[in-house]
Structure 1
Amino acid sequence: VRIAKEVKEAGANMLRGGAYKPRTSPYAFQGLGTEGVLDLVKARDLTGLPIVSELMSVDKLDEFVKNVDIIQIGARNMQNFDLLKAVGRTKKPVMLKRGLCNTIEEWIMAAEYIMAEGNPNVIFCERGIRTFETYTRNTLDLAVIPIIKERTHLPIIIDPSHAAGDYKLIESLSLAAIAAGADGLIIEVHDEPENAWSDGAQSLKPSKFNDLVAKGKAIAHVIGRSLG
C-alpha cells in the first residue's frame, strides 16, 4: 500500500503485483497466492489504482475475474492455449507477455486465441527475449513496437525491468520505448530493493521512478503521445 501510494503520486495509473509467481527454481519465492491478491485489492481500495496480476492456471480464473482488473498472461504461458481460451471467454482485459523464445507471429497468434473466444481486450507486453547475450537478463526487442502497430490494432506496452534485470538500465530503455511509440511501461518499484523477496536488482526506488516518469512524459509530449 505504501509503494502504491508513492507510485500513484509520481504518476503511475495502474499497479501490478505477482501474487502467483512462476519461478525458474522451485525454491525461490513463489508469491503469496490469495493473500497477495487481497493485498492488491486493499491497495486498489486505498489508492484507486486498477490492479494487474499474473494468472498461471485455469483453476484460479474465478478468483482473478472477481478481484483483478487486468489479467496478465506471463511469458511462460504465452502458448498455454487452454489458459488463453479460458481468459478469452471472459471480458476482462488481458495483458499478454511475449514468450522468452517466441516469434512476433507466434505472439500475435496467441492473442488471436484470446480474441477468437470473444474477448477483444488484449494488450501486448514485450519483456525481452532470450538471446546469446548475457550482460542483460533478456534482450529488449523495441522493433516489436512499430511491427505490432502495423500488424494489429492492439496496444503494446514495454517491460524494461524484466528485459534488463538491472535497475541502472531501466531509464534508458524506458525512454527509448516511449520514443519508439510504446503505449505504456511496466516499471518495477521497491522502496528497499536490497531486501526485496523477488527482482530487487531490477527495481527502482520511488524517487528514481518519479524522475523517470517526468522524463518519460516530456518525451511523450514531444512525440504527441499519452503515456500509461
Structure 2
Amino acid sequence: MLAVAPLPPRERILQATLALLESEGVEAISTRAVSAAAAVQPPTIYRQFGDMQGLLNAVASSGFASYLQAKAAHVGTGDPVGELREGWDRHVEFGLTHPHLYTLMYARLQPGEQSPAALEAAAMLSALMGRVAEAGRLAVGVERAAAMVHASAVGVTLTLLGAQEQDGGLANQMREAVLGAILTPDGETAVDSTHQEAATHAIALIALLPKRPAPFSEAERALLLEWLTRLI
C-alpha cells in the first residue's frame, strides 16, 4: 500500500487555522494554538506568512477560493437574471453556513484591501451583470449594478449573522428590492417611458461593444461610447 505524502507545512497551517476559525472563531487563533494543531514550530508560521495578520489574510483568500470553486461549478441556465438570483442566494447561504469565515472575509479587512480571490469574485459578478445588460434587462450601468448587488448581499448577510433571531424573509426581500432597482421589467410592455427604453438599449450596447467587431476607428468608438453614456 502506497504511503500518503504529508501535506507541506503551509497547507497544514492553513487547514489548522481554518478548522480553528470555523469551530471557535477568530479569537481562538493564536500562534500557540495554530502551531499545535498544525504540528509545526511557531517560527514556521512567521516564515510562511510573515505574521498572524498575513496568516488570517491567507485564510480569507482560501475561503474565497473555496466559495469561487463552488460558484464556478454551477452550470449556467442561459437566463442571466435567474443566475443572478441564484448567485445571491448561494452567497447568503455560504455566509450563514460559515459565519466565522464569512466575517473574516468581509468584516475584518483593512481599508482598501482586497484579496486576489475577492477580485476574481468581483470580476465574475461583473461578467454576469454584463450578460444581464446584453439581454436588455439592466436599468443602470454594469459596474453600478454589480456594486449595488455586492454591497447589499454582503450587508444583509452580515446583518443576519448579527441578529439574535433569524428573519427568513429579509434576504429575499432585500434581493428583490435591489434587483427591482437595477433591472428593467420583463415583457413587451416593460418600458414605461421613452427615456428608460433608450437607457436600457444604451446599456446593452455598451456591454456588447467590446465583444463585437465594428467598422469604427478608436476615435469613433470613443465618441459612440460617449453618446451612449449620455443616454443612461
Using the size of structure 1 for normalisation, the TM-score is 0.25
Higher strand share: 1
Higher relative contact order (CA 8 A, sep 6+): 2
